Amino acid sequence: LEILKILKKYDAKATFFVIGTAKLEYLPKIQKAGHAIGLHSNTHEYNQIYKSTTAFFKDLNKLSAKVEKQIGEKVTIMRFPGGSNNTISRNYRKGIMTSLVTKVKTKGYAYFDWNVDSGDASGHNVPASKIKKNVLKQAENKKSICVLMHDTAAKGTTVKALPGILEGLKKQGYKYDQLIKNEWIEPILKKYKFLSYDDLLNVIGFGDISAQKIVNILREEYVKSISGSKEEELLAKMESNKNKK
Q: What is the pTM of this model?
A: 0.76
Q: How far is CA 229 from the centre of its chain?
A: 31
Could you list the pLDDT tens digit for every one of the 245 residues in the chain? 899 999 999 999 999 999 998 889 999 999 999 899 999 999 999 999 999 999 999 999 999 999 999 999 899 899 999 999 999 999 999 999 999 998 998 888 888 999 999 999 988 989 999 999 999 999 999 888 999 999 888 788 999 999 999 999 999 999 888 887 655 455 555 555 555 555 555 555 544 445 555 555 555 554 444 444 444 555 555 555 545 54
Q: Any bridge partners for residue 78, and if so which? A: 39, 111
CA 228, CA 226: separation in Å to the nearest integer? 6
Would you say 112 and 81 are in contact if contact means Cβ atoms under 8 Å apart?
no
Closest CA to 89 of 122, 51, 42, 53: 51
* 3-state DSSP assignment of residue 77: strand
CA 187, CA 212: separation in Å to the nearest integer? 17
- First and final CA of the chain: distance in angstroms? 37
